[in-house]
Amino acid sequence: MRIKLNYDKIYLILKKEVCSMKNLFGISIFTLVCLYGLLAGIILAVFYFTGLPVMIGVYISIAIIILQFILSPWLTDFTMKLFYKVKFEDDMLPTNLKKFIKTVCEKENMKYPKIGYIDDGAPNAFTYGRTKNSARIIITRGTLEMLNASEAMAVIAHELGHARHYDMLFMTVAQLVPLIMYGIYETTVNMDDNTSNDNSIMSALGLIALALYFVSQYIILWLSRTREYYADSFAIEVTKDPSSLANALVKVGYGLSTSESIKKHNASKSNALGIFDSKTSKSLVVTSYKDGKVSKENIKETMKWEEWNIWAKVYELNSTHPLISKRLKAISDRCKEFNQKEFIKFDLKKEESYVDDFIKDLIVYLMPFISLVLTILFIIIMPNKAMLITGIGGMLFSLSLLIKLLKSHKSIGFKERKVKDLLSIVKVSNINSVSCELKGKIIGRGNPGCILNEDFVLQDDTGIILLDYNQPLNVINKVFALFKSKEYFDKEVTIKGWYRRNPVPYVEIKEMTYDNTTKTIHTFKIYKTLLFIILLVFIVITILSI
């Protein structure tokens, strides 16, 4: 008899066990022991086989990390004030949030954190510092406007969880390992050829160190994602309200929004924040809004990409945060503990396989690299035909770049769409785009508050999404951010562009229309023309070499 396993149920049971508070310290210590075990092994091997004074570099790296760790809160404070215009004023928070933070800190034997406020309509919240007693929590105006009181508490509790679990300390210690690994790689591969040491051994050790550098980076990313689950778990424990945390994740993480908090602020004069901007207070007709919550149908539609698209798993491996769908599942699994209905159950049936789409995207993504490697390889093997190989290889390289550009910047199909409609599309990636037209209001910067960030956040009547402002030279982006971007704030705009995910949903701007004026933002035609010229050059080289 075959036993059918419910993998989703097993996953949630394991996730619940992993997220029990008592296991966090053990997981962290075990991970650090593994990382430093790998580091010790490579250091001993290098020292034994080469006699190099590797420990000098190790000591220097440790000193740099320790100095950075000690000074980082003040350096980051300075950066926040200079580039993000953060105001460290406790009275920017409403009374209920201040009381909540004070209660949690007293219970957890923590000092009250330093609170920073960014006057930007885009939602964001984060924490930094050395330990639980030196934490800074930064929150934006957009977060407080979009979330109701219980959701805002859940977000603050999540950030307090990072401080309570000493996440900053553990991640700083962990990040020392790849730093030293890369230093060992640089030391061994750059040794003088005249040294008495065996160059083949040193080269091998250098490659091992480089491989372990990448391995340790992925271990650290895994540890970071794990600690995000623990921060969620801490928020659930202190608020006793998993549904509010899930709703906050949906609104801020997915970008599905409701007009609940805006209506609340408009209807009441009890706004203790003193930060509600009348310019952004227009009530929205939110189609994803049902019974004071974001529509569960819309949430499921948005989850489809993370659940079904293979790119989502690839991107997660390179991310410090888990996929939101996984976090929502873990949170939903705990709702019954607090007498709440399960927040979300993803029960949509996949109608097709998306493996073929992933393979096509992967081929397009890898082809420029593959053609370049093959060209170099064949030139080494057949140096007498270097010109012909260069011509053919250059043709393949430029042609593959052109195909990649055309796939990610499709020139047709610019249909008007809503944010929630874009979020429900499964066949989209950083390679495969969807041409679209969006109408809405720009509510802030892509990196909330940062005066050097040229991107925007757009809000329509169904949600919010990142707008990517992209010019050929990065210096142009920064000049625009400093001197021009504010002109677009609080403007009703129409955007033509390309929707993609990686896994953050975003639209790369092609054209922006406001006040009856259309401006072309993206220089797609320049890139395309340049690649055509390069392709023609390599065709000529190939013909001449035959």
Condensed to tens digits (0 to 9), the pLDDT of residues 440-482 reads: 999 999 989 899 999 999 999 888 999 999 887 889 999 999 9
Active-site residue (options: 159, 301, 306, 307): 159
The whole-number pLDDT of residue 33 equals 67
- pLDDT band for position 303 (cuts 50, 70, 90): very high
User: Domains of the chain, with CATH numbers?
Assistant: 1-253 (no CATH), 415-521 (2.40.50.200)
Tell me which of 174-178, 296-300, 336-340 is least confident.
174-178
What's the mean pLDDT in 355-371? 95
Amino acid at 14: L
Strands 464-468 and 505-514: parallel
The whole-number pLDDT of residue 70 equals 80
Q: How far apart are CA 532 and CA 528, in angstroms?
A: 6
The whole-number pLDDT of residue 48 equals 61
* Element holding 81 (H helix, E strand): helix 54-83
- C-alpha neighbours within 13 Å on the C-beta side of residue 438: 32
Is pLDDT larger for residue 94 or for residue 48? Answer: 94
- C-alpha neighbours within 13 Å on the C-beta side of residue 371: 19
The whole-number pLDDT of residue 3 equals 43
CA dihedral 202, 207, 208, 211 (to 10 degrees): 160
Number of other CB atoms surrounding residue 266 within 10 Å: 15
The whole-number pLDDT of residue 497 equals 95
Q: Is the pLDDT of residue 523 over 80?
A: no
Could you say which DSSP state residue 85 is in? Answer: -
Q: How far apart are CA 34 and CA 11, in angstroms?
A: 24
Q: Is 228 designated active site?
A: no
Q: Determine the length of the chain.
A: 546
Phi, psi of 389 (to 5 degrees): -65, -40
* Element holding 388 (H helix, E strand): helix 386-408
The whole-number pLDDT of residue 335 equals 94
Residue 113 · residue 132 · CB < 8 Å? no
- Classify 518 as helix, strand or coil: strand
- pLDDT band for position 208 (cuts 50, 70, 90): confident
pLDDT digit string, tens, across residues 404-439: 999 999 988 899 999 999 999 999 999 999 999 999
Q: Is the pLDDT of residue 20 over 60?
A: no
Is pLDDT larger for residue 185 or for residue 442? Answer: 442
**What tokens were used for 173?**
């210690």
Partners of residue 458 on adjacent β-strands: 442, 465
The mean pLDDT of the chain is: 82
- Among 85, 3, 19, 35, CA closest to 447: 85
Radius of gyration of the chain (CA): 26
| SS (HEC) of 402-466 | HHHHHHHCCCCCCEECCHHHHHCCCCCCCCCCEEEEEEEEEEEECCCCCCCCCCEEEECCCEEEE
Token match 């000098």: residue?
56
pLDDT digit string, tens, across residues 84-139: 999 998 778 889 999 999 999 999 999 999 999 999 988 889 998 888 999 999 99
What's the mean pLDDT in 180-192? 75
Hey, which of 29-33, 266-270, 288-292, 505-509 has the most confident mean pLDDT? 505-509
Residue 59 CA from chain centroid, whole number: 32
- pLDDT band for position 71 (cuts 50, 70, 90): confident
Q: Is the pLDDT of residue 490 over 70?
A: yes
Token match 């392709």: residue?
535
The whole-number pLDDT of residue 266 equals 32
What's the mean pLDDT in 494-522? 90
Q: 199-239 and 7-18 are packed helices; what angle lies between their axes, rounded to 10 degrees?
A: 90
pLDDT digit string, tens, across residues 234-270: 999 999 999 999 999 998 888 765 444 333 333 333 3
Strands 415-416 and 434-445: parallel
Is pLDDT larger for residue 238 or for residue 49? Answer: 238
The whole-number pLDDT of residue 50 equals 61
Residue 13 · residue 329 · CB < 8 Å? no
The DSSP line for 468-506 is E---SSHHHHHHHHHHTGGGGTT-EEEEEEEEEESSSEE
**What tokens were used for 413?**
């199909």
Residue 439 · residue 462 · CB < 8 Å? no
Token match 């760790």: residue?
69
Q: How far apart are CA 516 and CA 91, in angstroms?
A: 40
Q: Is the pLDDT of residue 19 over 80?
A: no
Could you tell me what percent of the chain has a pLDDT over 90?
A: 51
The whole-number pLDDT of residue 76 equals 87
The whole-number pLDDT of residue 508 equals 95
**What tokens were used for 534?**
């390069």
